[in-house]
Chain A
Amino acid sequence: MGETFAQKVLARKAGLESVVPGQIVTLRPDHLLAHDNTAAIIGKISGDLDRYGIVDPEMPIIVLDHVVPASDEKTASNHKKVREFVKRFGIKNFFDAGVGVCHQVVVEEGLALPGQVLVGSDSHTCSYGAVGAFATGIDRTEAAALLLRGEMWLKVPHSMKMSLRGRFRKGVYAKDLILKVIGNVSAAGAAYRSVEFHGDIRNLSIGDRFTISNMGVEMDAKAAVFPVDDITVEYLEDAGVNRGDYTPLWADKDADYFSEHQFDLSDIVPGVAKPHRVDNYATVEEVKGLVFDQCFLGTCTNGRYEDLRIAADILKGEKVCPGTRLIIAPASSRELCMALSDGTIQTLVEAGGMLLPPGCGPCLGAHQGVMSPGERTLSTANRNFKGRMGCKEAEIYLASPATVAATALYGELTDPREVLD
């Protein structure tokens, strides 16, 4: 019997010949990601840091992104503590406020590599499956323990195989697919398991794969992983990583799966997640005409250049519907610069969009774009939980950048296929 990706990658990292699902392994992850919550993480172990220091300054990647620039004295003090910590322990992989959302930065800097194991004190760490890494979220306490000791346990998960075939029709995107997948398997459908994507992935850019892997945790997957192909290799080369710097792994053809699922991409249509659950799926057609007060284009899920470009193509020469606000938060400064250089940003701002700095922005409700009770946002983010955007009497729907742009144009939920020529 062959092995899954999760079995192979965890065995290699743990220094074992082979492992089986359910087995507990001890390993040292290639990287540990933390963001603004680094302040809270190091606050737990200030005495220990004086005594033991950190185990390896190469291990942490720290990105300030959640509340940037700081919104008040408390968040500013947190950022300051993080900068001091970085300096004190000589942490090389530090990205200050404005560089971008942590997950986007990790991937575009070439810090997550095929066949690696990464953990992060953020649930969307699973994004790095887009480039063939096994990546999963942990809590702050575990991050603190890793800084001190560098070692952790992981239970080898069972795996689910998602086979993709065909290609998307016009106006349909990776976001529509992953919303449909989560709707099908449910928010707990991949609990404790690793999800592997197989089949026709050659039409999916790294950005598309990122959108899909990013939302793996919304079905409670431990990891959500794509195989490595020429697209991955080329993307990493552009990020300054040579082909010889990593050793990809992938599942055997006869690997044993917990379950197998098939998706024909040409069957996927524009979709949304309705409040207040990510698995509360509907097609755009089913809820067409619903009025939105705010449209949000951005986040690690869909704030890349290609997402902004799709929206700009829809909004070019047009104006956002009066009564609807459009907020744009690019996933990183690099993506922002690309969108600046070809006029994408100008198009979006001329259409009436409000541009925020690269960062998490309104996604988590800490600042920027908070709604009033009774309001409704259509967002390209990954979560629509009650209260997520800072107001529990407001509603969040999730959709693709194209659906968000088309909806911003008319002020009501609009199928992007109707506005794309």
Chain B
Amino acid sequence: MRVWRYGDSVNTDMLFPGKYTYTCSTAEEVRPHLLEDLDASFAGNVKEGDILMVGDNFGCGSSREQPVLGLKAVGVQAIIGKSFARIFYRAAINQGLILIEAPEAVDAYREGDEIELDLEGGRIKIGGKEHSFPRLPDQILEIRDAGGLLEYTRKKLGQK
């Protein structure tokens, strides 16, 4: 597992350039351009289970969900950040991508530290030290745990 570290205010244009927004929509189309203007080495080297460790206001800017689709599709285990932009945060819930808001954990992390995630307990262990993060309300976990908002919506429609 590799940890990819990025700073504050990484915006959606860096995560997935606007020039592709009307030509690339599916995860397969998005994948080669993931994080293109932030880190050109990312798309070719990211592996399933990798973690992103980011600063404040990650994902600010457009309502562009393609970076979330792409990060989920390549198997990113979680994004641990100081804070996330609102629409990005919501988009992650809608795709079942795990975001963890834990500023102390981000500050504490040193290259090479082991990371253990306990999503149920809302705890993250970094280099042997434990940090807590707020758990999402049940109503919202239900969406994420259904595999995302469309799966959740289909379940609800099927119950009618």
Complex-state Cα separation, A153 to B150, whole angstroms: 14
A67 part of interface (Cβ distance < 8 Å): yes
A180 part of interface (Cβ distance < 8 Å): no
Pairwise interchain contact B83-A188, C-beta atoms closer than 8 A:
yes
Which residue of chain B is the closest to A221 with respect to CB atoms?
Answer: B86
B14 part of interface (Cβ distance < 8 Å): yes
Q: Which of B41-49, B53-61, B109-117, B118-126 is the contact stretch?
A: B53-61
**Residue in B21, B148, B156 whose CB lies within 8 Å of A366:** B21
List the 4 closest pairs (A to B, CB-CB), nearest first: A188-B57, A139-B65, A139-B91, A40-B25
Pairwise interchain contact B94-A387, C-beta atoms closer than 8 A:
no
Report the minimal beta-carbon distance from A369 to chain B, rounded to whole angstroms. 12
Given contacts A148-B157, A364-B62, 5 further A-B contacts (CB under 8 A): A36-B22, A123-B87, A145-B150, A187-B9, A220-B60
B37 part of interface (Cβ distance < 8 Å): yes
Pairwise interchain contact B87-A149, C-beta atoms closer than 8 A:
no
Complex-state Cα separation, A44 to B140, whole angstroms: 21
Complex-state Cα separation, A125 to B87, whole angstroms: 12
Complex-state Cα separation, A115 to B28, whole angstroms: 41
Residues of B within 8 A of A91 (CB): none
**Residue in B13, B21, B65, B86 whose CB lies within 8 Å of A386:** B13
Residues of A within 8 A of B11 (CB): 385
Pairwise interchain contact A388-B85, C-beta atoms closer than 8 A:
no
Residues of B within 8 A of A220 (CB): 57, 60, 85-86
CB within 8 Å of B: which of A346-402? 364-366, 370, 383, 385-388, 390, 392
How many B residues have CB within 8 A of the partner chain?
41
Asked if A365 meets B18 with Cβ closer than 8 Å, knowing A148-B153, A191-B57, A386-B13, the reply is yes
Which residue of chain B is the closest to A370 with respect to CB atoms?
Answer: B19
CB within 8 Å of A: which of B102-151? 137, 139-140, 148-150
Residues of B within 8 A of A364 (CB): 18-19, 21, 62
Pairwise interchain contact A142-B22, C-beta atoms closer than 8 A:
no
Pairwise interchain contact B149-A24, C-beta atoms closer than 8 A:
no
Pairwise interchain contact B68-A139, C-beta atoms closer than 8 A:
yes
Pairwise interchain contact A67-B22, C-beta atoms closer than 8 A:
yes
Report the minimal beta-carbon distance from A187 to chain B, rounded to whole angstroms. 5
Pairwise interchain contact B22-A74, C-beta atoms closer than 8 A:
yes
Complex-state Cα separation, A366 to B22, whole angstroms: 8
CB within 8 Å of B: which of A138-177? 138-142, 144-145, 148-149, 153
Report the minimal beta-carbon distance from B27 to chain A, rounded to whole angstroms. 11
Pairwise interchain contact A153-B140, C-beta atoms closer than 8 A:
yes
How many A residues have CB within 8 A of the partner chain?
51
Which residue of chain B is the closest to A143 with respect to CB atoms?
Answer: B63
Pairwise interchain contact A141-B150, C-beta atoms closer than 8 A:
yes
**Residue in A37, A144, A153, A277 whose CB lies within 8 Å of B9:** A277
Asked if A122 meets B150 with Cβ closer than 8 Å, knowing A277-B9, A365-B19, the reply is no
**Residue in B17, B23, B60, B65 whose CB lies within 8 Å of A387:** B17
Residues of B within 8 A of A52 (CB): 157
Pairwise interchain contact B157-A386, C-beta atoms closer than 8 A:
no
A322 part of interface (Cβ distance < 8 Å): no
A43 part of interface (Cβ distance < 8 Å): yes
B90 part of interface (Cβ distance < 8 Å): yes
CB within 8 Å of B: which of A109-126? 120-123, 125
Which residue of chain B is the closest to A47 with respect to CB atoms?
Answer: B154
Most-contacted residue by chain A among B17, B23, B63, B83 (CB, 10 A) = B63
**Residue in A44, A78, A123, A142 whose CB lies within 8 Å of B62:** A123
Pairwise interchain contact B56-A149, C-beta atoms closer than 8 A:
no
Complex-state Cα separation, A304 to B157, whole angstroms: 42
A75 part of interface (Cβ distance < 8 Å): yes
Which residue of chain A is the closest to B89 with respect to CB atoms?
Answer: A192
A241 part of interface (Cβ distance < 8 Å): no
Asked if A149 meets B156 with Cβ closer than 8 Å, knowing A24-B140, A220-B57, A366-B19, the reply is yes
Complex-state Cα separation, A138 to B86, whole angstroms: 9
Complex-state Cα separation, A125 to B152, whole angstroms: 25
A-B contact pairs, 30 of them (CB 8 A): A39-B25, A43-B25, A74-B22, A74-B23, A120-B63, A122-B63, A123-B87, A139-B90, A140-B63, A140-B65, A141-B65, A142-B149, A145-B152, A145-B153, A148-B157, A153-B140, A187-B9, A188-B56, A191-B86, A220-B60, A220-B85, A364-B19, A364-B21, A365-B17, A383-B61, A386-B37, A387-B13, A387-B19, A387-B37, A390-B17
A48 part of interface (Cβ distance < 8 Å): yes
Complex-state Cα separation, A139 to B94, whole angstroms: 9
Pairwise interchain contact A144-B22, C-beta atoms closer than 8 A:
no
A27 part of interface (Cβ distance < 8 Å): no
A8 part of interface (Cβ distance < 8 Å): no
